Amino acid sequence: MGALYRIALLLCCVLLQYTAAAESSLIVTRGTQSKTFQLSELLAHPAAIEVQTDASDEAYKRPMRYRAVPIETLLPDLHKDADASVQFIALDGYAPVIAAKRLTGIGSASAYLAIEPSPGAWPALAPNKPSAGPFYLVWRDASGAAVAPSEWPYQIASIRVQSALAARFPKIVPDSQASARVWAGFAAYEKHCFGCHTMNRQGDAKMGPDLNVPMNATEYFAESALRKLVRDPKSVREWNAGVMPGFDPGRLGEEELDAIIAYLKHMAGRKVAQP
């Protein structure tokens, strides 16, 4: 192999790695599932089309054209999650929430995720400010439909579907910036534990003790004991009244248990004040 060829190959690799690292991506979390979409993948998506907005375009205040995918591309069957809400987390941490019902259509208006083809391809939002990219929620046929200004979130980094429970019980919800694992743990906790335990004194069922206040279970159980207790409560302590069922790995996977523990640890930093 010639030296020049080898250098060219090396340069290619370096360049490829560089572009891969620099490319924006979008994280979509729904329940315990998290999926990452690369920007290039969304641009080339078969559902991507050109979308024209009108003067109600919140970021630019004038009609614009975007390459965009319907929101259902990222969140299939959203209508089945009618009571859920969807949080759009911006690069700066701003995290507005939109009801899932509204995202499936507001009057004539339909929601699309606009994709900025490359950094700087869209105008700056203000002098010396970045653009609305890399991802921007836009509405087609919005004129006359009651789409609120807050329903055009821009500079989106991730999207998260929250359960209806999260809206009813805001104190059980992790911080919007928490890791994907904490959010997966929250979904698993809702599914497996919230039916019996309150969190921060919120919840319908008070069969078992609150797992966060006054002390969080991760504060007084060594992690190994906590894991054992969830798998098989009687392997930790026994008495007649023991009600909590054990969760074997078939019912609660190892990853789900890890995630629940990450969620519990996270909530220790989000305790409600004494009543």
From the list 243, 248, 250, 274, which residue makes contact with ligand HEC (rule: CB under 6 A)?
243
Q: Find out whether 40 and 23 touch, Cβ atoms under 8 Å.
A: yes
Q: Residue 212 and residue 143: Cα distance in Å, rounded?
A: 47
Residue 164 is a binding residue for ligand HEC (CB under 6 A): no
Q: Find out whether 176 and 93 touch, Cβ atoms under 8 Å.
A: yes
Residue 9: CB partners within 8 Å, gap ≥ 6?
Answer: none
- The token duo for 171 is 């104190």
For ligand HEC, which stretch binds (CB under 6 A), given 23-31, 135-143, 161-169, 195-203? 195-203
Q: Give me the residue label for tokens 């990452």.
A: 36
Q: Residue 12 and residue 6: Cα distance in Å, rounded?
A: 10
For ligand HEC, which stretch binds (CB under 6 A), given 13-21, 23-31, 51-59, 235-243? 235-243
- The token duo for 148 is 């609120």
Residue 196 is a binding residue for ligand HEC (CB under 6 A): yes
Residue 97 is a binding residue for ligand HEC (CB under 6 A): no
From the list 197, 259, 262, 267, which residue makes contact with ligand HEC (rule: CB under 6 A)?
197
For ligand HEC, which stretch binds (CB under 6 A), given 4-12, 44-52, 64-72, 242-250? 242-250
Applying CB under 6 A, the residues found at the interface with ligand HEC are: 192-193, 195-197, 207-209, 211, 217, 226, 229-230, 233, 241-245, 247, 252, 260
